[in-house]
Structure 1
Amino acid sequence: MLHLLRQVVEEVNSTRDLQASLRTVVGRIRAGMNVQVCSVFLWDAHVNRYVLMATDGLSADAIGKVTLTQNEGLIALVGKREEPLNLSDATRHPNYHHVPGLGEEPFKSLLAVPIIHHRKVLGVMTIQRTEPGRFGDSEEAFMVTLSAQLAGVIAHAEATGALSGLNLMGGEQLDVRFAGVAGSQGVAIGKAHVLVPPSDLNSVRYRPARDIAAELALFENALTKVRSELTATRERLRSELRPEELALFNVYVGILEDRALGDAVVELIKKGEWAQSALATVMRRYIDHFESIEDDYLRERAADMRDLGRRVLSHLQASVPDVAIPDHAILVGEEISPTVFGDLAAGRIAAIVCTTGSANSHVAILARALAIPTIMGVQELPWQGLQGEELVVDGYRGHVYYRLSAEKRQYFESICKEEAEREADLESLTDVASETSDGVAISLMVNTGLQTDVVRSQNKGADGVGLFRTEVPFMMRDRFPSEDEQAKIYRAQLEAFAPLPVTMRMLDVGGDKSLDYFPIVEDNPFLGWRGIRVMLDHPELFMVQIRAMLRASLNLNNLKVMLPMVTSVSEVEEALAIIHRAVLELNEEGVAVNLPEVGVMVEVPSAVYLVKEFATQIDFISVGSNDLTQYLLAVDRNNPRVANIYDSLHPAVLKALKMVIDAANEGGIPVSLCGELAGDPLGAVTLVGLGYRHLSMSSSNLLRVKSVLRQIDSGWAHTIASGLLHLDDPKVVRSTLRLALRKAGIPLTDLGILPS
């Protein structure tokens, strides 16, 4: 059974066509399980029916023609219950539905299992035998395992099919929608520019060859170059390596000269496939084959094949000229580096779509700062086939649209127009006081990281910087910036906002923020070496950075320093010792700097309970609601599979926020919140109701938040927030907030909620 499972999944993964995949499945299962029938029905949402997509054993003429409603027959019953159905005699079941012409009259026993992907029923797979009797437990377990394995393949194949504009029944499909997670609000219409990671075999997808002869020449040229490189490397190392070690290069060259591999790639190219995906397909087959072998030595050869494939692929990719990112492009890719923002002028990017990550991935946070509509975690998007295609990005709902109907296009064009008008209206609030309708002042600050944030923030009338992400300049380089380089960066921020305060967070790497030149490889990075832990283990990095900050603040005195990921008082004491030593050293060097205010971020559960203890050591508290939510809910904020669980308005998070503000007030220490919750108008209203008076957010959200806060009474907000603390579901929290604000006369568009 295990061999059959591996064989089916491997063959299905290597096919590009959904029909071909399903034909492979039913044929292999029928033969391998010794059954008379295997069939697959898929749910077509466009006609609201299950469609027979493949069968081996029933009438082939029925494929694509036999359909069942969601309440019709045993197929519908399995889909509705979302569980297997194992029957000794299906014809005796009350839900049995006879379909004329299907040819299933002779068959009695039936095993049907649902195909489910991300809680969505994609279809039902069945096996049948003529003799009555239930299928065995091992057979049922196999079918359940296989359906789980195939669900992702089928979901991706359906998405790829949708890209061609056809539904399962073959009709034209408009308004094709792919769902992800809203990362940054806004709507954008533009053409996709695909960003492909270099030399990644798994990221290469099928593309038809424009010129087969040219693709063949490119492939042969790439093979020749890699062989030459390996031979040259072998000769260069001949005096340093033993003969058995040098033999590895001969093995590599031999693999490339073996026509079995080359001929397989050539065959795919001749069938009309471009060289890159032909190579990737063949190499993935070899890699999967070696990885499935039980012998340890042979299994390790998978790494050799992967390395060779990457070498050849890099030459194929080098032969394709780089396409400049056009103005107003929608960047699309698996994982887009935040460094892309440093390479492009403001306004160049219309929107961003990533197939991985979540609303609190670093790229999404930066996109919000730059007001770029962004969607994360669009897992089923066949992104590599989108180059140059027109897309619509709905950053409010987290949807990507393709092949728009005239009606849908008109709707989104009107949204874009309304957004521009609303933004113009909000500009009038730039110099207006940030306060509630009853006169309670609320300090609205900005989160920054890029130099472009400075201009944007000043144009919004910010009260200072509540969070300067110092890791961003580090991420833009290929090495650690020197003390002088850091001092220039920090000075620019401090001067731009002086005399307003600028709160700089000490370098916070690890987790989802990595430096290529300082890799941190861990099984569980969010519970590993990150934040203050890294800096205390590397006091030389800490000292260089704090010295640069202090020097940058000379004669400005608007610097505040914040320590990230603090979990204990001892960490604060160690950090303070280094900061005091830096001040002393600079004074001894003749640089008359003052000791800045030092605070800690409350972003892990332990810190929630230590606020009073922290208050005796430091000058302020800042709540990082992004990580606090992640750790309280045990949700990796970059994992789209659990993105729907991540919610900063979860009752547990609200209770923790209330504990922090109460403890800070009791300890007589100022407290602010610098997570993305502050930039959500619903969140800002809740925070004011809980007692927070200092909020820091992306500059793009500042005026919208100010507009909403100026329309509410602080006492009213307190009453609403107190009521929310007694609720037990984040969805109920949000709906309660929306209803209360609507009753208060605040338009939904002010809250970033689009009309249906």
Structure 2
Amino acid sequence: MLHLLRNVVEEVNSTRDLQTSLRTVVGRIREGMDVQVCSVFLWDPHVNRYVLMATDGLSPDAIGKVTLTQNQGLVALVGKREEPLNLSDATQHPNFFPVAGLGEEPYKGMLGVPIIHHRKLLGVLTIQKTDAGRFGDAEEAVMVTISAQLAGVLAHAEATGALSGLNLLGGEQQDVRFNGVAGAQGVAIGQAHVLLPPADLDAVPVRRTDDIEAEVKLFHDALASVRSDLRATSDRLKNELRPEELALFNVYVGILEDAALGDAVIERVRKGEWAQSALAEVMRGYIDHFDSMDDAYLRERASDMRDLGRRVLSYLQESVPETVLPENAILVGEEISPTVFGEMADGKIAGIVCTQGSANSHVAILARALDIPTVMGVQELPWQALQGEELVVDGYRGHLYYRLSQEKRRYFENIVEEEAEREAGLEALKDVPSETQDGVNISLLVNTGLQTDVIRSQDRGADGVGLFRTEVPFMLRERFPSEEEQALIYRAQLQAFSPLPVTMRTLDVGGDKSLAYFPIVEDNPFLGWRGLRVMLDHPELFMVQIRAMLRASVNLNNLKIMLPMVTSVSEVEESLALIHRAVMELNEEGVNAQVPHIGVMVEVPSAVYLVREFASQVDFISVGSNDLTQYLLAVDRNNPRVAGIYDAMHPAVLKALKMVVDAGNEANVPVSLCGELAGDPLGAVTLVGLGYRQLSMSSSNLLRVKAVLRQIDSGWAQTVASGLLHLDNPRVVRSTLRLALRKAGVPMADLGMLPS
């Protein structure tokens, strides 16, 4: 059984054609499990029926023709229950439905398992035998495991077929929709610009070429370059390696000189395929071949082939001129680095689509700051094939649309126009105070990191900076910036907002934020070395940054320093000692540095219970709602598989937020909140009701939040928030809050709901 399972999984995952995969599955299972029949029925939502897509044992003429409704037969029963059905005699079951010409009459024993992908039923996998009797537990376990593997293949095939306008069963499709997670609100219509990862054999898109001879030459040149690199490396290391180790380089060169490899790639190029995908397909074949071998030594050669393939591919990619970024570009990729925003042409990025990440990934946070509609976690998207295609990004619902009908396109064009009109109307609020109807002032601050954030923030009348992400300038460089370089960056930020306060968070790396020149590789990075832990372990980095901040603040005195990821009182004490030491050093050097206001971020559960202790040592408290939500709910905020669980309006999070603000008020220490919850109009209303009077958010959300807060009464908000604390479901929390706001006369459009 284990041997069968391994073979089926390997063959299914290596096959790139759906029909071949299905034929492989039913044939392998029938032979390996010694049964008479194996079949796959797929659910077609376009006609609401199950369709026989592959069988080994039943009539081959029935493939693609036999269909069942969602209430018809044992297949439908498996799908409805979404659990295995193991019968000793299927013909005696009340749901048995004989289909003329299918050839099921001789078979008694039957086992059916559902094929489910991310809660979506895709079909049913069945086996049958002539003898009466249930299948064993081991057989059932293998079938469930194979169906889980098959689910991923089917989901990918469904998405790939959608790009060509065909569903799994060959029917025409328009208004193809891929589901993800809403990352930044808004709608964008534009042309896809695919960001391919460098030298990734699995990410190379299949493309056609009109200049076959040029592609052949590029391939030969790439091979020659890699052979030359390998020989040069061998010569350089010949005095340091043993002969048998040096021989490996000759083996690599020999593989690249082998006519079989070159001929296989050239053959594909001659058929009109560009060299990159021809190479990738051939190398993947070699890799899969070695991976499937029983001998451990030979399996290891798969990594050698992958390494060689990547070396050749990197030269092929270098030879291709960079694609010019189109107007209204929709950036599409697996993961898009925040540094992309500093490299791309300003104003050309209309939308962003990532196959990984979630609404609180740093790319999504920066996209919200720049007001770029974004969809994250579109897992089954065949993104490599989208270059140049027209897409629509629906950042309200988290959908990506392709092959739009005229009617659907007009619908989204109207939304874009409505958004522009609403934004223009918000401009009038820039200079009016941010206060509730009963006169309570709510300080609205902005989160910054990029230079464009400064301009946008000033245009929206921010009350200062609640969070300056100092890691962004670090991420845009290839080394640690010097004290002088940092001082210039911080001075520009402080001057831009003077005399308004600017809260600078000390370097916060680790988790999902990495520096190429300071890699942190851990099995569980979010519970590992990150935030203040890194800085305290590297006081030389911490002191340089603190000194730069203090120097930048001279004669401006609007600096506030914030310590991230604080988990204990001792960390605060150690940080304060270093900051005071930096002040003394600068004063001794003749720099008139002063101790600024210092605060801590409440981002982990332990900090929630230590607010009173922190309050005796620092000048302010700031809640980081993004990480606090992640740690309270034990949900990786970058994982799209659990994106539906991550919700800052979860009752546990609201109760923790209430504890923090109450403890801060009792200690007479100001408490603010910086995070995506503050920039959500629903969240802002809730926070005001809980007692928060300082909210920091992306500049793009500031006027939207102000528009809503000016329409409510703080006492009313307190009453509503008190009621929310007694609810037990975040969805109910949101719907209750929306209903209360609707009754209060606040328009849904002001709340960031999708325009009509």
Please classify the TM superposition score into its range, dividing by the shorter chain length: over 0.9
Larger deviation: 295-304 or 444-453? 295-304
Contact preservation (8 Å) 2:10, 2:292: no
Partners in 1 of 2:225 and 2:514 — Cα distance? 33
**Corresponding letter in the other structure for 2:181:** V
How much has 1:247 moved relative to structure 2?
1.4
How much has 1:231 moved relative to structure 2?
1.4
Partners in 2 of 1:374 and 1:168 — Cα distance? 28
Change in CA separation of 1:567 and 1:391 when aligned onto 2, cut-off 3 Å: same
Which residue pairs with 2:520 in the alignment? 520
Which residue pairs with 2:708 in the alignment? 708
Partner of 1:447: helix, strand, or coil?
Answer: strand
Which residue pairs with 1:732 in the alignment? 732
Task: Give CA deviations for 1:195-237 in whole Å, capped at 9, x if unaligned.
Answer: 0000112222434454555444433332222112211221232
Change in CA separation of 1:441 and 1:398 when aligned onto 2, cut-off 3 Å: same
Q: What does 1:254-273 correspond to in 2, within 5 Å?
A: 254-270=254-270, 273=273
Larger deviation: 408-417 or 597-606? 408-417
Matched, 1:18 2:18: yes
Change in CA separation of 1:4 and 1:273 when aligned onto 2, cut-off 3 Å: farther
**Corresponding letter in the other structure for 1:195:** L
Larger deviation: 280-289 or 392-401? 280-289
Partners in 2 of 1:549 and 1:399 — Cα distance? 42
How much has 1:723 moved relative to structure 2?
0.4
How much has 1:183 moved relative to structure 2?
0.6
**Corresponding letter in the other structure for 1:255:** I
Contact preservation (8 Å) 2:689, 2:721: yes
Partners in 1 of 2:98 and 2:221 — Cα distance? 59
Contact preservation (8 Å) 1:505, 1:564: yes
Which residue pairs with 1:76 in the alignment? 76
Matched, 1:748 2:748: yes
Partner of 2:518: helix, strand, or coil?
Answer: coil
Task: Give CA deviations for 1:103-161 in whole Å, capped at 9, x if unaligned.
Answer: 22222221111111111111111111222222222111111111111211110111000
Which residue pairs with 1:66 in the alignment? 66
Which residue pairs with 1:570 in the alignment? 570
**Corresponding letter in the other structure for 1:204:** V
**Corresponding letter in the other structure for 1:549:** M
How much has 1:285 moved relative to structure 2?
3.9
Larger deviation: 592-601 or 17-26? 17-26
Which residue pairs with 2:541 in the alignment? 541
Contact preservation (8 Å) 2:110, 2:127: yes
How much has 1:82 moved relative to structure 2?
0.8
Contact preservation (8 Å) 1:14, 1:281: no
Partner of 1:439: helix, strand, or coil?
Answer: coil
Task: Give CA deviations for 1:65-85 in whole Å, capped at 9, x if unaligned.
Answer: 222221111111111111111
Partners in 1 of 2:747 and 2:73 — Cα distance? 47
Partners in 2 of 1:307 and 1:181 — Cα distance? 34
**Corresponding letter in the other structure for 1:326:** P
Partners in 1 of 2:284 and 2:739 — Cα distance? 53
Which residue pairs with 1:550 in the alignment? 550
Partners in 2 of 1:158 and 1:519 — Cα distance? 37
Structure 2 alignment gaps of length 5 or more: none
How much has 1:410 moved relative to structure 2?
1.3
Task: Give CA deviations for 1:625-678 in whole Å, capped at 9, x if unaligned.
Answer: 000000000000001111110000000000000000011011110000001100
Q: What does 1:458-537 correspond to in 2, within 5 Å?
A: 458-537=458-537
Partners in 1 of 2:15 and 2:209 — Cα distance? 17
Partner of 2:126: helix, strand, or coil?
Answer: strand
**Corresponding letter in the other structure for 1:716:** W
Which residue pairs with 1:581 in the alignment? 581
Matched, 1:347 2:355: no
Which residue pairs with 1:430 in the alignment? 430
Which residue pairs with 1:126 in the alignment? 126
Task: Give CA deviations for 1:692-750 in whole Å, capped at 9, x if unaligned.
Answer: 00000000000000000000110110011000100111111111111111111111111
Contact preservation (8 Å) 2:418, 2:755: no
Which residue pairs with 1:238 in the alignment? 238
Larger deviation: 308-317 or 627-636? 308-317
How much has 1:297 moved relative to structure 2?
4.1
Question: Aligned residues: percent identity?
Answer: 82
Change in CA separation of 1:715 and 1:205 when aligned onto 2, cut-off 3 Å: same
Which residue pairs with 1:51 in the alignment? 51
How much has 1:22 moved relative to structure 2?
1.2
Partner of 1:489: helix, strand, or coil?
Answer: helix
Q: What does 1:241-640 correspond to in 2, within 5 Å?
A: 241-270=241-270, 273-291=273-291, 296-640=296-640
Change in CA separation of 1:147 and 1:207 when aligned onto 2, cut-off 3 Å: farther
Partner of 2:150: helix, strand, or coil?
Answer: helix
Which residue pairs with 1:94 in the alignment? 94
Larger deviation: 397-406 or 248-257? 248-257
Partners in 1 of 2:362 and 2:584 — Cα distance? 35
Aligned residues: 756
Q: What does 1:207-218 correspond to in 2, within 5 Å?
A: 207-218=207-218
Task: Give CA deviations for 1:533-565 in whole Å, capped at 9, x if unaligned.
Answer: 000000010011011111111100000000000
Contact preservation (8 Å) 2:664, 2:671: yes
How much has 1:293 moved relative to structure 2?
5.1
Partner of 1:115: helix, strand, or coil?
Answer: strand
Which residue pairs with 2:135 in the alignment? 135
Partners in 1 of 2:34 and 2:605 — Cα distance? 55
Change in CA separation of 1:196 and 1:697 when aligned onto 2, cut-off 3 Å: same
Which residue pairs with 1:167 in the alignment? 167
Partners in 2 of 1:240 and 1:717 — Cα distance? 72
Which residue pairs with 1:199 in the alignment? 199
Contact preservation (8 Å) 1:73, 1:95: yes
Contact preservation (8 Å) 1:346, 1:452: no
Which residue pairs with 1:722 in the alignment? 722
**Corresponding letter in the other structure for 1:197:** P
Contact preservation (8 Å) 2:415, 2:755: no
Structure 1 alignment gaps of length 5 or more: none
Normalised by the size of structure 1, how large is the TM-score? Answer: 0.98
Partners in 1 of 2:493 and 2:241 — Cα distance? 53
Task: Give CA deviations for 1:145-193 in whole Å, capped at 9, x if unaligned.
Answer: 1111121111011100011111233221111100101110000000100
Change in CA separation of 1:323 and 1:365 when aligned onto 2, cut-off 3 Å: same
Partner of 2:40: helix, strand, or coil?
Answer: strand
Partner of 1:638: helix, strand, or coil?
Answer: coil
Partners in 2 of 1:186 and 1:523 — Cα distance? 35
Change in CA separation of 1:50 and 1:208 when aligned onto 2, cut-off 3 Å: farther
